[in-house]
Amino acid sequence: MSITFAATPRSVPATPPRTRGRRGRAARRTLTGWGFAAPATLIVVGLSIFPAVWAFFISRTKWNGIAPAVDVGWRNYQRIAEDPDAVAAAQHTLVLTLIFVPASILLGMLIAVALNQRIRLIGFYRTCIFVPYVASAAATGILASFVFNPQFGAANEVLRRLGIPTQQFLESPKEALFVIVLIALWGEIGFTAVVYLAALQDIPQELVEAAVVDGASRLRVFLHITLPELRPVTVFTAIWQTITAMQLFDLIFTTTRGGPLNSTQTVVYYIYELAFQTQRLGYGAAVAYLLFAVTMLLTVGVIWYSRRTGSEAF
C-alpha cells in the first residue's frame, strides 16, 4: 500500500478550498478532529489538570480524608515556612538537585564523547552504560541497599581493598543523601549520555573537519564547535534532570525511606508521608502546590534564559 503511494509523483496539485458548504464542512472537520484527539486528551487532562485544580481546593482545607474538610484559607501555606520538617525537606531537595543536575550533565557529556569514539569494544561499552536505565528505580534502590550495606556490601569491600576507611553510607545521616545522588546518577546517566550521543552524531562532520584543516586543536574544536552545537540538548537536559531530581521518590522509598534521622527526606517524600502516612491531606496538598510553583518558575526561567541567549531548544 505504502509503496504505491510512495511511487505517486510528489507534484500532486493541492485542491483549492471550495466555498460551497463551507460551514457544514468546518463542523464536520471539527467533529472528525475531536474524534481523533478527544479520547487521549480527556485522559491526559482528566488525570492531571482536573486533579491539579482539585488539589488546590484541598490545599486550603484541614482534612484527614474521613471527617469533613474544614476551610482554613491560606493557613496551610503560611505554616510551611515555620515547619522545620518542610524546611529540612526543601534543603535536602536543593542539595540533591544542585549536585545531581550538574553532575549528570558533565558526566553524561563526557561519557557521550567517549562513546562517540570509533574504538574497539564500543558496542560493549554502550550496552553496559545504558543498561541500568531500564532497571526500575525500585529495583535499583533495593540493589543499592545491598551494594552499600556497611557490613558486607561491595562498596565497602572496594574501599577496604583501596585502603580507604569503610563508610556507613545509607545508614549515616551525613552520607545518605550523597549516596542517593550517586545511585540516582547510576540509574539516570545512561539517559543523559544517549541524548548527548545522538546530538554529537548530528553535528555536521564538515564543521569539525574544516576546523581541523584550519589547524584547531581537538580541545578547541570541542569548545568552539561541539559545545555550542550541544547547547539545546544541555538546556533540555538541565530541565529534565532538575525535574527528575526534584521528584525523586522511588529510590528513596526503597533505600532509606527518608531516614536516617530524616536526612534523606525530600519534599516529595514528605508530601507522600503527609498524605498517606499521617493523613494530613490539606497540608500535604499545600506543600505539593508550593513544589509545583517552584518547578514551574524554574522551568519557565530556564526556557526564558535559553530563548534570550538564542538557543533553540524550545
Partner 1 sequence: MAIATPRRRWLPFSGWHLLLMPLALIFVLPLVQMVLTSFMTTAEINQFPPKLIPTSLHLAGYKALLTESHVVRWFINTVIVSTIAVVSHLVLCSLAGYGFARLKFAGRGIAFLLIVATVMIPTQLLMIPTYLMFARAGIVDTLAAAFVPWLASAFGIFLMRQFFLSLPVELEEAARLDGCSTLRTFVSVVLPLARPAMATLAIFTLLSSWNDLLWPLVAISDDTKFTLQVGLASFQGTRRTEWAQLMAGNVIATLPLILAFLVAQKKFIATMTFSGLKG
- By CB under 8 A, the residues from 93 to 152 that bind partner 1 are 110-111, 114-115, 117, 119-122, 124-139, 142-147, 151-152
- Structural contact between residues 268 and 292, judged by C-beta atoms closer than 8 angstroms: no
Q: Which of residues 154-213 bind partner 1 (CB under 8 A)?
A: 154, 157-158, 160-161, 186, 190-192, 194-195, 197-199
Binding mask 3-32 for partner 1 (x = CB under 8 A): --xx-x-x-x-xx----------x--xxxx
What is the C-alpha to C-alpha distance for residues 70 and 295, in angstroms, rounded to an integer? 28
Closest approach of Cβ 130 to partner 1, in Å? 7
Ranges assigned E (strand) in 42-82: 61-62, 70-71
What is the C-alpha to C-alpha distance for residues 110 and 116, in angstroms, rounded to an integer? 10
What is the C-alpha to C-alpha distance for residues 140 and 253, in angstroms, rounded to an integer? 11
Binding mask 251-290 for partner 1 (x = CB under 8 A): --xx------------xx--xx--xx----x--xx--xx-
Q: Which is nearer to partner 1, 106 or 122 (CB)?
A: 122
What is the C-alpha to C-alpha distance for residues 25 and 87, in angstroms, rounded to an integer? 58
Closest approach of Cβ 211 to partner 1, in Å? 21
Identify the three-state secondary structure at position 71. Answer: strand
Q: Is 2 in the site for partner 1 (CB under 8 A)?
A: yes
Q: Which of residues 294-313 bind partner 1 (CB under 8 A)?
A: 295-296, 299
The helix or strand, by DSSP H or E, that contains position 43, with its residue range, turns out to be: helix 22-46
Identify the three-state secondary structure at position 279. Answer: coil
**In this chain, which of 243, 259, 260, 262 binds partner 1, going by CB under 8 A?**
243
What is the C-alpha to C-alpha distance for residues 100 and 192, in angstroms, rounded to an integer? 12
What is the C-alpha to C-alpha distance for residues 130 and 17, in angstroms, rounded to an integer? 51
Q: Is the peptide bond before 84 cis (omega within 30 degrees of 0)?
A: no
Q: Which of residues 55-84 bind partner 1 (CB under 8 A)?
A: 55, 58, 65
Closest approach of Cβ 215 to partner 1, in Å? 22
Please enumerate in sequence order all residues whose Cβ is within 8 A of that of 201, keeping only pairs 6 or more positions apart, or say none. Answer: 116
**In this chain, which of 21, 22, 37, 71 binds partner 1, going by CB under 8 A?**
37
The residue range among 71-79, 165-173, 211-219, 249-257 that interacts with partner 1, by the rule CB under 8 A, is 249-257
Closest approach of Cβ 81 to partner 1, in Å? 19
Closest approach of Cβ 186 to partner 1, in Å? 7
